[in-house]
Structure 1
């Protein structure tokens, strides 16, 4: 495979471009979770929902400036006409992953991610309880019984022979889906807090709950709109960078001092890998249609546009995603130190 080299302006947000405490909302230098994180020296990670993107549509909308709209409106009125209002235009690009990944591969990768995050938190000076040990605790069994069915429903596909959806959702071994920012009642009410009291008594450790989405490329769209009384023209420049990114991330913390909060902690902005990977980026409608049949169990999209296929070897995809997640985990651990230890 050839290395894609693009003479593009490299995105300014890389893993090391911001201080750790500035990368997250809700904890770090300041945040609503710092009160419950203060002086907490041990953690475990019972929830880690990971969504691996296999199909992404990127869209950018450009709106006519107010000054341009005013000038065009005046020009139209001077000729006895009317201007159609402030104009807008957009461009989009669809990217499709072709890496030979099956559900078992994504599951294995999720397990690796969980271990990477545990290791980086431990390197930052915290005690980390392995989930295989937590899973043996009587107090955790009550939580497991409550959330196991919900976790099964959240998984993308139960059949390893059919990946099935645009986003593959998997959970590392011994982890659960407990809640996210869309949950109607965070934690499930008094019964849940009774369970927490028991597991806090056994562990004296804080829970770290994560919901992440991993994208396989970084797309830049530069859309320009030239509006006037006679119509509008749109030009767009597309750049696809072979860099993985975390496009979505929300976090909750539950410690013996409190949590979860009514609003989750989150990344300030997308987290983009500082390294490129080897890939072949090309357009092929017939190939895209066949990939859609694999990725979508129902409502398979028609290929009536010009998608870009990102062809990566399985080995390169796994290596790039691990590298991205290691970069993220280092920054997360740094922010956790700031929130828990005030350093």
Structure 2
């Protein structure tokens, strides 16, 4: 019996060895650049020394949790944690539905050439770096020299401090994020819509259903599994934070809302050379992200969805 199983396994490998050979490169990438560096997670629990390996470093005080305690007693970190949660939640609430709505609008467009043109226009901002977007935002929204405020002044309205007032900065930050990512985010939803059986729309039209009925009863249910998976993945990054986006858009007048965890790690870890503290903060982010990911996946399965595993 064992010989038969071994022979079958060898035959399978001989037939599909090319597929396994193609896996070598991505597997090697993950091992070298994802799993081996995990050895340096120890830095979060030890007193960092540039001349010692992580295994040789001395354990930090308080059973290795000294730097976690320092982080949570640091006012800058608490503000960064609050700002990260606030900005990510706003991105989730306003940014997550945007590509769904846009994908449905694209699907309903009757003229194919216009549809392709608008899709291309919507995709283009994704390929701009946040440095370029920040430069464009400064030219458009600057208090005195920005194009938008110049037009408002000519119309008799007062200038709006888009980038110099905390509340306005948050609104501008979220709006620019939606503008940059909404087009690219429609790709998966359009692919999911393309997989919906067109006979369902034909049957609904025969029964007298209009466009809104088709969207509500056919398109959205067809997108449900894709929406759930992407929502779970987004919840896994609820405590994650980009560096280039807030760093490029920030200025000294809005530091109370623009300082996020990634900027805190940059200031304390790279500029302040407090590597143990910044590693502890990064590990905290990762653990919370994994907790949210597992929780969202379990909740999705509880409501009858497949989840991501």
Normalised by the shorter chain, which TM-score bucket? under 0.3
Give the structure with the higher percent strand. 1
TM-score by length of 2: 0.22
Structure whose CA Rg is larger: 2
